[in-house]
Amino acid sequence: MARRGRRRGANADGAEVHGILLTDKPEGWTSADVVRRVKAKVCVKVGHLGTLDPFATGLLPICIGEATKVAQFLNTADKEYTGTIALGSATDTGDLTGEVGETQPVPDFADAELRRVVESLGGEQMQKPPMYSALKRDGVPLYKLARQGIEVEREARPIVIRELELERVAADRLAFRVACSKGTYVRVLAEDIGRALGTVAHLASLRRTAFGSFRFGAAGGTDPAVWDPSTGGVLSISEALAELPAVELPDEAAAAVRKGQPWVLQRLGATVTSGDRAMLVDAKRVPVAVVEKKAGAWKFARVLG
């Protein structure tokens, strides 16, 4: 809710702020830290897409204002990461923040062995989530149970490793790049890579470089510590949903959609010829709703202000 005396979606200078801010999360910050820093500079709702662990850096899209209403359509996107894997030691968290448990010698291997590992771990597969994760059991995050020494059964979930590149950069260190589906735990992938090479391993560093169609430009991402709403840098909702077909509506129909009146949806059948999701925009190309086709009929998935 806007503060008294300001328009909804306005910052202290009166500029409208609605859209996606591509922040470059610093190491040591939680994703919630970034949200709090951005929220302090605007007077609308703020949320993030795709949590990054505190030790990780990189692309953390922040939804501001009306853009928080479309987060559900963006959170299913594929991700891309770069980072390093430490061979020869495993930690209880699967990454550099945990305590080292098992250690094993690192075998000598050639590039051909790395190529074999890449081939064996690519494509569709099932992955069991780690205990140190935000998934919940009976309302309790698994990482809280793990810190108490409690381990519970987790069901493996389908993921897709679309691209994987490995390079040996030291006797006990690999550099990697991976493009993967939503829900992939890179920590688990790092452990799998270690086992495939005949040793143990943990994730030593991680940087997210892409989130669906979101990528940093030549200047990199926005530093959330210094971002100023007056300088812009926020992607519009239309840009964020650019992959959806856009249907332009006359003024009367756009006004009806904003009120949630469904009669407009009856006219979409001949307009949207492919796909089961579309974006409705007004004459100024401002999005007014996202719609989905269910059981052959169009329904409002999200109405925008």
DSSP the chain: -PPTTS-TTB-TT--B--EEEEEEEPTT--HHHHHHHHHTT-SS-EEESS---TT-EEEEEEEEGGGGGGHHHHTT--EEEEEEEEESEEESSSBTTS-EEEE-------HHHHHHHHHHH-EEEEEPPPSSSS-EETTEEHHHHHHTT-------EEEEEEEEEEEEEETTEEEEEEEE-TT--HHHHHHHHHHHTTS-EEEEEEEEEEETTEE-BTTB-B-TTT--GGG--EEPHHHHTTTS-EEE--HHHHHHHHTT-GGGGGG-TTT--S-SEEEEE-TT--EEEEEEEETTEEEEEEE--
- Report pTM: 0.88
Determine, yes or no, domain membership for 230.
yes
Q: Which domain holds residue 263?
A: 244-303
Are 181 and 72 within one domain?
no
Residues 41 and 143 in one domain: no
Are 72 and 217 in a shared domain?
Answer: yes
- Encode the chain (305 residues) as per-residue pLDDT tens digits: 333 333 344 444 434 689 999 999 999 999 999 999 999 999 899 999 999 999 999 999 999 999 999 999 998 899 999 999 999 999 999 999 999 999 999 999 999 999 999 999 999 999 999 888 888 888 888 888 888 888 888 899 999 999 999 999 999 999 999 999 999 999 999 999 999 999 999 999 999 999 999 998 877 889 999 999 988 789 999 999 999 989 999 999 999 999 999 998 887 766 776 678 999 999 999 999 999 998 888 999 999 97
- Based on the fold, state whether residues 83 and 206 are members of the same structural domain: yes
Instruction: Give the integer Cα–Cα distance in Å for 145 and 41.
Output: 35
In a domain, 182, yes or no: yes
Do 152 and 90 sit in the same domain of this protein? yes
91, 114: one domain:
yes
> Does the residue 1 lie in any domain?
no
105 plus 196 within the same structural domain: yes
* CA–CA separation, 63 and 71 (whole Å): 7
CATH number of the domain encompassing residue 284: 2.30.130.10
Same domain, 220 and 295: no
| Spatial contact of 142 and 133, defined as CB atoms under 8 Å apart | yes
- Determine, yes or no, domain membership for 170: yes
Residues 119 and 71 reside in one and the same domain: no
End-of-domain residue from the set 222, 237, 252: 237
| Overall number of domains in the chain | 3
**Domain shared by 190 and 123, yes or no:** yes
- Using alpha carbons only, what angle is made at residue 288 by residues 284 and 292, rounded to the nearest 5 degrees? 130
* 226 part of a folded domain: yes
Report yes or no on 54 lying in a domain: yes
- Does some domain include residue 221? yes
CATH of the domain at 44: 3.30.2350.10
**Based on the domain organization, do 118 and 203 belong to the same domain?**
yes
- Do the domain assignments include residue 166? yes
Active site residues: 53
Please tell me whether residues 172 and 217 are part of one structural domain. no
